Amino acid sequence: MLKRLAILIVLGAFLCGWLCVAQNQQPQSYANQNASHDENRAKQENIPQRELGKTDPDGKKPCQSETEEQESGSKSIPQPWYKLPAWISIDVAAVSTVIAFFTLVFFAVQVWLMRITAHRQLRAYVVAETGIVVNVADPIQSIGPKSETEARITHPEWGPVLRIQIKNTGQTPAYDVIHWAGFYFREWPLESALPPIPAAEDRYRSTMGPGVPITKTLFFGPRLTDEQIKGLRDGTAALYCQGEILYRDAFKKKHFTRYRLMYHLFGGAIGVNTDLTFAEEGNETDDTAKKWWQRKRINHPLKSN
């Protein structure tokens, strides 16, 4: 949109300048040309200006023939196909200045757009790539061999264990990377609020090169109760993983990625499936989040030194 607007502005300024130059190059009127001819002749022959135009004794003007030749010659001059109204007065220097100004604006907009495009192509993008949960519940035994999956209870003294992997999918390193995540059991659909994200100053910072993954392991705590496992199998409950990633790209711009994953019946049978899926809400980045004039301020804004 900005590119098209800049092109229209430059074209409009160029058209105004062209009309101004064409208007200033219009031929003089016949009266002005005759007056100029008489003045030049009077200077060359030292004839008083008042004697020009007097009649001879035979009733013929002395310069009549020359005046007729001049008029016939001026009539042969081609006239422009247009004529600007008399109230239009354009200064060529001013129009040239305007054209130069908008040309510089156009090139500045072009450079700005190219810079934004280069940053988007080369900057770091740290996102939550995969998530799995193990040690959730024993699968319901069916006809056939026993299912040996990582989702079954392998450590009875533990509760579910979550492994979340984040990755820099960009082409440049990500600096001051901070990753925080929490693991919760809640109803589905989610109606209660999850715990807020803690302050960024209390978290460890690291650097991630392009294509480098980092894995975080979270422990739920106590083993799930029979009622909780029943809620998972009925689809009325889910295990949620909520996290936030803060980082700075190679162009010294701060970014954030907020994600919310869940272990639910939609992803597969409880006790068999181990994959987490993205929840309907809670997933946003600084590129997709609403700006400050479109939403209310949240309790945990992005904080980074």
As to burial, measured by CB atoms within 10 angstroms (0-12 exposed, 13-18 middle, 19+ buried), residue 241 is: buried
d(CA 25, CA 9): 25
Tokens for 77? 């001059």
Asked which of 29-33, 65-69, 140-144, 164-168 is least confident by mean pLDDT, the reply is 29-33
- Mean of pLDDT values over 29-49: 53
Nearest 5°: CA angle at 60, between 55 and 61?
A: 55
- Mean of pLDDT values over 280-300: 69
Tell which residue, 295, 200, 300, has the closest CA to residue 247: 200
Tell me the pLDDT of the chain averaged across its residues: 77
d(CA 222, CA 199): 26
Q: How far is CA 110 from the centre of its chain?
A: 13
Q: Residue 184: enclosing H or E segment and its boundaries?
A: strand 174-187
Q: What pLDDT sits at residue 301?
A: 44
Record the pTM: 0.65
Does pLDDT of 222 surpass 60?
yes
Q: How many CB atoms lie within 10 A of CB 20?
A: 20
Does pLDDT of 58 surpass 80?
no
Nearest 5°: CA angle at 254, between 252 and 259?
A: 145
Residues near 72 by Cβ (< 8 Å), separated by ≥ 6?
none
